[in-house]
A and B are shown apart, each in its own frame.
Chain A
Amino acid sequence: MALADARTGSGEPPKVSLLYNPALRSVVYQVVTLVVIIGAVWYAWNNVVQNLARANMTAGFGFLNSRAGFDLAQALIPYSSDSTYFRALQVGLLNTLVVAAAGIVTATIVGLLVGVGRLSHNWLIARLCTIYVEIFRNIPPLLVIFFWYLGVLALLPSIRTIFQNLKEDPNAVFFISNRGIYMPAPVFGEGFGVVLVALLIGIVAAIVFTIWANARQRATGQRPPVLWINLALVVLLPLAVFIVMGQPLTLDYAVPGSFNMKGGMVIGPEFLALYLALSLYTASFIAEIVRAGIRGVSHGQSEASYALGLRPGQATRLVVLPQALRIIIPPLTSQYLNLIKNSSLAVAVGYADLVAVGGTILNQSGKSIEIISIWMLIYVSISLITSLFMNWFNAKMALVER
């Protein structure tokens, strides 16, 4: 017993020199690292201020309230050359977000289709998907952007040709030109808000109904016609309200102006080139990730689901995909972040994204350090928010162990 007591001791570690105490050492290392980092930052900042003072320049963000003086082609919020630099940056940020969001949605859909297509038993589809992946994966994204901008969109009919065609066919409302795609713009009349409210109610009702239907299926085994009832709630209800309210929606058509089409809505070739290039480029990577994810699910899983009597579609949807998603989501997050960052290539084709607008401001005001800090802060924030969301989604999809 005495021996056992001696071995277990009183729970204290053996006495060692302070120099070799692991707990103390780790604390010391961390403190030293922290001091070095703070010192480096302080040194850099101090140098910046001193050097700027020497060059008769000032540091600070006050310049953001100055008048911008330049116009922007694509602005989702009211903007003119009288607006401030800060406003211009907001326009740029919004443009970045729009192209990134649209790109992520399209890249995901195309990537999913192509990734599944590569596994198809149809020889032609599988080969076409392989060719797609190998082409877009192996070309730098900047070249893909130029390909769309100068190789495809610039070759579309000129605005003069459109004017000519309109004389022959005055009823046309939808035009594709090398200045972008023109289409009618919706003008919301009085009472359209009620339709929106109806749509909202329809969506909420559909969600509630789906939850109830699922509960009922679990309880009784009977499945109500969820699809049809949901469609009716989301589409027919707002449509009925729309008609009752006297159709409070008119269209503003694009008509020929002096140099360009006037009115209507236009999607510029700069946006299109960037959006198409980012989507199709990233989709090729997503396709490979999807393929790897599906391949990563043991074949026995599909066989087992067939044995249970599931049809192939159901087996994929209910058994294979949920497991594949666990493999897919983490690398997918990286691709989303890549797409967001690649959107800064916009500057090459003159799409007014955050970097393009910031660059102009930098050039006019000479505030390099401030603008670069703003760029970095914003990109880090967008990326971290995307990561947070994807991590949450990943946790939700992860295997729940009981």
Chain B
Amino acid sequence: MDIPFTTKARPDTGLYNAKLGIWLFLASEVMLFGAFFSAYILLRVGADPGTWAHGLMNVPIGTFNTFVLIASSVTVVMAWAALKSRNYSLYRNCMIITIMCALGFLVVKSFEYAEKFRHYEVWMKDGSRMTGHIDYDDGGVKKHAYFWSTKTLIKKKIESISFTSDDANQWAPGQYYPPMTKEQLEHVKKYADKGPQHHAVVTIKSADIQRLSAFVPAHSTFFAIYFTMTALHGVHVLGGAIVLSYFLFRGRKMWQTDPDRFINRIEVGGLFWHFVDLVWIFLFPIMYIL
């Protein structure tokens, strides 16, 4: 039995069923992301002054990923337009670029996440605090510490940590940890705000640490909502890439037997993809800039 209205429009709605279906689905997605954006506003506005984590995101990387998603949005609509003009090879090329962009976005995002998982903030008992990286010696090999916290220091009975401070991200300029030498302190002051390439390595005693946290959801409200929203968006990118890949690798047969239905499938997949792009367009300034 044929499924009705897969290509022709229903007389009452003027739309084929899948198109009305995807718009209803997108409506539910608007409410889903809308709820998270509402939560973000509530948390952001309700945060006590000075407690919202600013300037801890890599803006050029976020900008690059925005370019990637915009490019993919252009290519997916071009893929649909290519099918409309019965040019399958152009469709295929556009769709390959779209999927490459989707995978590129996810790869960049995963590197960005990994960088956050080995990036730390340390709150000292004297009230000062700084951000940076922790390296440790593992049988003569220098390794980055991932996911460490105050509990890790206690559990592993670590007496001190080697902390490479990011000068650019000091939240409390001038309030550096006392064991920093005079030369290191001058170095930090001299290059403050010049970029993360100017580091100062300090050894911090665990006994002097009030709290240690990687840039994970437990770090702060900002990172909790950042990871929730970007991970949810990432799942949508992955889902979209899987569906578009299916159309790319398994779509030729339908194109030969029922081209109009195939064009409609690409349109529906493309609408979802544009929505994913649309969400990122708002996520980027909110999470990276403001």
Partners in one complex: no
**Residues of A participating in the B interface, judged by any CB pair closer than 8 Å:** none
**Residues of B participating in the A interface, judged by any CB pair closer than 8 Å:** none
